[in-house]
Structures are given as structure tokens and as C-alpha cells.
Amino acid sequence: MFYIELGLRHILDIEGYDHMLFLLALTLPLTFRDWKQTLWWVTAFTVGHSLTLALTATELISMNSTWVELGIAVTIFLTGLFHLLRNFSVSNSGRYLSLIFGAVHGMGFGSYYSFIAQDDVFWWAWLPFNVGIELGQILLVVVLLFVYSIFQKIGVSIKTVRILVTGVVLTLSAQMILERIPNELF
Amino acid sequence: MLLLILVCFGICGFSTKVKHEFYVSVTDIYVDAEKGQINGVVKCFPDDWERAMNALLANKVQRYVQLDSTSQDSLHAVYLQKHLNVQVGEQSLKFGYSGTVRGPDEVYLLFEGPMELAPEEYASGWTVNQTLLADIYPTQENIVILHYDGQKYTSSCREGNEYEFNYSF
């Protein structure tokens, strides 16, 4: 139970809201009517995240954390841009995007996970931790879609809302990219 | 498109310090009925620990890394005593700092103390208060694992529970 809660808090942690921003970008074209697609996209993210989390924590793959942090910011920016360029249309490609970008996010968390999950609990905690992540994402996405549906109900153009949200996503992620560019590039 | 551009410029003043940094430690506390001892180990990141120790030396010229190992140990003992409090029922566990082991990416602080209650009394009424590094990092989370009679319980001390939890096996 502790590790489920930890996974939940990992997603809902406002101190590091890059995860939230990614979900905001990911769900830009979705509505409650697309619940199947929504579930696919969110689950694909968790699968990608879980796999690279395990691979990084067990040191089977290793990447400089500076580049991973930059990669996370880039995935947020690209997700927002992808939906904007496709005029917020829903397609199956979203799940593949989600899987790949989830993998990038998972790498950012491997060292933390290997620190907290000691040898004897490593795999035993891995599943509940990722279940917590999935639950946290679903919760967040439901809230986002609920907010979109309220805007629709009160007659606000959903396209306008999406453009506004895309503006927020692109700007914040662009700032993140600039802040995270490694010093060795200069 | 104009709307998008306006939003982008409008939000540019917003500062984004969102690097997903985590401040965490892991503490294991073992009830060793055979030896009649309580043993424990706190694991934390070396840079976090060094910062906490330097904060203790705020009014001194010397920095933590310049101290000899005896002086460092004294600091560790004081800090651990202040920030880790464990009670079983009404009884406070009296443990003392017993040494430091340094790994490549972590610092292990060891502590131990006598079992002053009968072994079965350690089955219930645990109160763990662990504020280690919380004075440095407000988002610090201290994971604590209690080991008793082959059983294990994991929880954490963090801002959300005022760095304290209760448990009975």
C-alpha cells in the first residue's frame, strides 16, 4: 500500500509538475467520449515509464540525468506541438507517442527508485509503485477532461480552450528546455 | 494563431523551477530480540547530508569536509539524536549513534540501543518521528521500515503527516 501511495504522490507532486504538464499536453485533443483512447494513451505512458524505470534503476541502461531532464522537457513541448499541428485530432499514433515519451520520463526516476527500493523489495515494490502512477494519471486526466467538459457546457469554444492550454504548455516547456540545456553545450 | 502567440507571451513571465528533485532518506529499524538490541541505519544522499552538517556549523569558519572524523561523528550523533525519535508505548527508545559508512552515492548512519521492554511489547504502540533533513529541505520525505519478529512495515515521515506516524504489528 505504501508504494501505491508513493507512486500516486509522484504523479501529483506539485513541486515537480513536469508530469502534470505532460499529461495536460497529452490529453489536449481528448474528451470523455474518447475514454477508450484516453485509457490507452495513459496506460501506454505508464508501460513506457515502468520499463525504463526498472531498466535505469537496475543500471541495465544508463543516461546522464542532465540529458534526461532536458529530454523530459522536450517531450512535453513536442506533445503540445504534435496536437497543435494535427489540429487536435484523435488518432492511434497518440498511444505510441505516449509510450515513447513515457519511457523518457521513466529514466528520470530510476536513480530515485533504486535508492528507496532496497534489494529485497525492489521487484515487490515495483508493481504497486507503478499501479500508483497509473491511478494518479487516471485521476489527473479525469479532472482535466471534467474541466474541458465544463467549458463546453457553459458554451466556451473547446478549440479556443485547447489553443490557450497549448500556449501554456509550449511556453512552460520551452522555458524548461532553456533552463535544462547542459552547460557543456556552451 | 494570434491567440496562441498572445498566451505564449503572456505566460513568459512565469518562472519554471520544475526540475523533479526528490529529497529522501531511508531508515531501517530492527528489533533484535536475540541480542536484546535495537539496531538501525539511516541512508541518505551525501550532498544532502553535507548540507545539513554545514548548517550546523553555520557560525563556524570550518566546513564539514574540513573536520576530522571524530568531529564529524560528534556532529552526526547530535543531529541524529535531535531528528530521530522513536517511542514504543510510553517508552522512548534510547539509542545512540554508532558510526558512519560511506558508499559511492549514499551515506549510512548507524545507531543502536538496548531493548528495555520485553520482546512482545515491541509488537504494538510504535510512534516514529523523523525530521532528518526537513530543516534543510521542506519537501524532505523520510521512509522508515520497521522490522519486528520477521515482519516488516514501511511508511514515511513527511510534511503531510508532520513527520510522524504510528503503527502496531
The three cell numbers locating residue A40 = 490507452
Lowest mean pLDDT among B18-22, B37-41, B144-148: B18-22
Tens of pLDDT, residue by residue over A117-168, are: 876 777 888 888 888 888 888 888 889 889 888 988 888 888 888 898 999 9
| A91 compared with B169, residue with greater pLDDT | B169
ipTM above 0.90, yes or no: no
> What secondary structure does DSSP assign to B103-165, as a single string?
-SS-EEEEEEEE--S-GGGGGS-EEEEE-TTTTT-TT-EEEEEEEETTEEEEEEE-GGGTTEE
H or E element, residue A152 = helix A122-153
Tens of pLDDT, residue by residue over A49-102, are: 889 988 888 888 888 888 888 999 999 999 999 989 988 888 888 888 889 998
A12 → chain B, closest CA residue: B20
Q: What's the rounded mean pLDDT across residues A28-41?
A: 85
A20 → chain B, closest CA residue: B18
| B9 compared with B44, residue with greater pLDDT | B44
- B144 and B27 in contact (C-beta within 8 Å)? yes
**How close A7 comes to chain B (CA, Å)?**
13
Domain ranges of chain A: 2-181
Domain ranges of chain B: 20-167
- pTM recorded for the entire structure: 0.79
Cβ of residue A171 closer than 8 Å to a chain B Cβ:
yes
The contacts of residue B96 (CB under 8 Å, 6+ apart) are: B77, B81, B111, B112, B113
Q: What is the β-pairing status of strands B141-148 and B24-32? A: parallel
pLDDT confidence of residue B55: 86
- B100 and B73 in contact (C-beta within 8 Å)? yes
